[in-house]
């Protein structure tokens, strides 16, 4: 992971951090991670694809919500603690307000079949967004012909997705192994 800010020549302001993450939060019903990558890498270019993948890997290994961790790291990268706070507030304030409102509506209307259909359809769309983002993140491994990296992706998928082993245990085994393999290939 690089410590320099290489993807962007200008540093976003605290307001830009707040509104970027608020925009991510407001358009990301069903899955915030694909929208986070799109905003940070493709739209704003505050991170390049490799930096995003590195930071996400770190944030997935840390306790807590992955995107919340990533938000804090990105905000902190540009403005320290005030940046982390601005980015995290941008990500959380409006969704909390919206979720409380939706919870109140769901309490009254959640058993109506049409409402159940909307919820089921939203869940399917979220799964598609996650799958598409996973393919985008795997593309650099294929482009760089990193068969070792692809092997670890497949091992993680097999362990968690097929074998149904706990994610934390799979990460505790695969993370040190991947570091060891990467160190030997350097």
Tokens 């939706």 locate to: 102
pLDDT(2) > 60: no
Q: Which is higher by pLDDT, 142 or 52?
A: 52
Alpha carbon of 63 to those of 4, 60, 68, 96, 142: distances in Å? 24, 7, 10, 21, 29
CA dihedral 138, 139, 142, 143 (to 10 degrees): -150
- Dihedral angle sign, alpha carbons of residues 42, 45, 51, 57: negative
pLDDT(1) > 50: no
pLDDT of residue 3: 45
Residue 113 half-sphere exposure, CB side, CA atoms within 13 Å?
0
What confidence tens digit (pLDDT) does each residue in 82-94 have?
Answer: 999 999 999 999 9
Kindly report the length of the chain: 186
Burial class (CB in 10 A: 0-12, 13-18, 19+), 23: middle
pLDDT of residue 42: 94
Lowest mean pLDDT segment, chosen from 48-52, 74-78, 84-88, 105-109: 105-109
Backbone dihedral region of 102: left (phi > 0), alpha (psi from -120 to 50 degrees) or beta?
Answer: alpha
Can you tell me the mean pLDDT for 72-99?
96
Lowest mean pLDDT segment, chosen from 37-41, 57-61, 131-135: 131-135
């Amino acid at each position: 992971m690089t410590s320099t800010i290489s993807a962007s020549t200008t540093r976003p302001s605290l307001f830009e951090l707040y509104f970027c993450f608020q925009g991510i939060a407001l358009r990301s019903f069903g899955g915030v991670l694909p929208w986070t990558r799109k905003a940070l890498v493709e739209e704003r270019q505050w991170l390049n694809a490799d930096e995003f993948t590195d930071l996400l890997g770190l944030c997935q290994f840390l306790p807590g919500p992955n995107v919340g961790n990533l938000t804090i790291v990105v905000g902190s990268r540009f403005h320290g603690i005030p940046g982390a706070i601005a980015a995290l507030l941008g990500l959380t304030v409006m969704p909390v307000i919206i979720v409380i409102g939706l919870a109140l509506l769901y309490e009254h209307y959640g058993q109506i079949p049409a409402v159940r259909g909307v919820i089921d359809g939203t869940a399917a769309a979220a799964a598609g967004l996650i799958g598409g983002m996973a393919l985008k993140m795997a593309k650099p491994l294929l482009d760089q012909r990193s068969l070792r990296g692809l092997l670890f992706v497949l091992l993680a998928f097999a362990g968690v997705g097929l074998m149904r082993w706990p994610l934390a245990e799979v990460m505790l085994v695969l993370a040190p192994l991947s570091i060891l393999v990467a160190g030997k290939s350097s």
